[in-house]
Amino acid sequence: MSHNAILTLDNMSYAYGAKKALDRVSCKVEEGHCAILLGPNGAGKSTLFSLITHLYNAPSGTIHIGGHDVRRQPLKALGLLGVVFQQSTLDLDLTVRQNLLYHAALHGIKHREAEHRIKEELTRFGMLERAHEKARQLNGGHRRRVEIARALLHHPKLLLLDEPTVGLDVPSRKALVDHIHALCRDRQLAVLWATHLIDEIAPQDDLIVLHQGQVKASGEVSEVLEQTGQETIEAAFTQLTGRKERTLW
């Protein structure tokens, strides 16, 4: 395992009955890197996230987060993980601050320290002045910012983002992409971002192309382009999967 690898998956397989969702998937995400898990709908991205978060038990292969085996040391491994799911999980009847305080309490963060971290994260996301508004008063982009702030309260080493820009307008999507890359750069946070939108990928990102449950290519964007002999991610993706994905910018 690379000494900088925060997440390492080795030979992961999973099936729903006779239907194989993942087939011997291996990949890694390193400290300070944003790794894009790119694949069409049905590629296995959500299944992979369910295994990493221990919602599903993997019958074969291993997952390590910060050197801890998710199956054998779930509390230590998952304590290093922050997650933002595709569907919003905020309590809409609570204020932004109340949502964050509740999450902090679940992680055993004392109230005074929680208040400090909440102020810090909301300031980073330009949301401090909205701390006492109910979550239902926020638009989609602002709810996403709160969810990411919540996921960072316990100072995780790894952030999982499951198609976090679904339903957002173009300015909100761009702002979110910029925020996440700044977190990688400033905090040395490891990020695994599942998407099917090619324009969310930055040139410096790592890229994992998943199709029909298999990793078709992985590495830095430039390495994947070299592997496929293509000049653009879109062309490389089409070659690897036979699919053409959308760009919205």
Distance CA 111, CA 178 (A): 30
User: Would you state the structure tokens that stand for residue 38, as one six-digit string?
Assistant: 């790119």
Q: Where are the domains of the chain?
A: 5-80+156-241, 91-140+149-155
Selecting from 3.40.630.40, 3.40.50.300, 3.30.70.20, 3.40.50.360, what CATH number does the domain 5-80+156-241 have?
3.40.50.300
Q: For the chain, 249 residues long, give each residue's pLDDT as a single digit of tens.
A: 445 899 999 999 999 998 999 999 999 999 999 999 999 888 999 999 999 999 998 888 999 999 999 999 999 999 999 999 888 889 999 999 999 999 999 999 999 999 999 999 999 888 999 999 999 999 988 999 999 999 999 999 999 999 888 878 888 888 889 889 998 999 899 999 999 889 899 999 999 999 999 999 999 999 999 999 999 999 999 999 986 655 544
Structure tokens at 171: 């300015």
What span, in angstroms and rounded, lies between the C-alpha atoms of 177 and 107?
Answer: 27
Q: Which of 129, 194, 132 is nearest to 164 (CA)?
A: 194
CA distance 162 to 170: 18
Q: How many Å apart are CA 162 and CA 36, to the nearest integer?
A: 10
Query: 3-state class of 138 per DSSP?
Result: coil
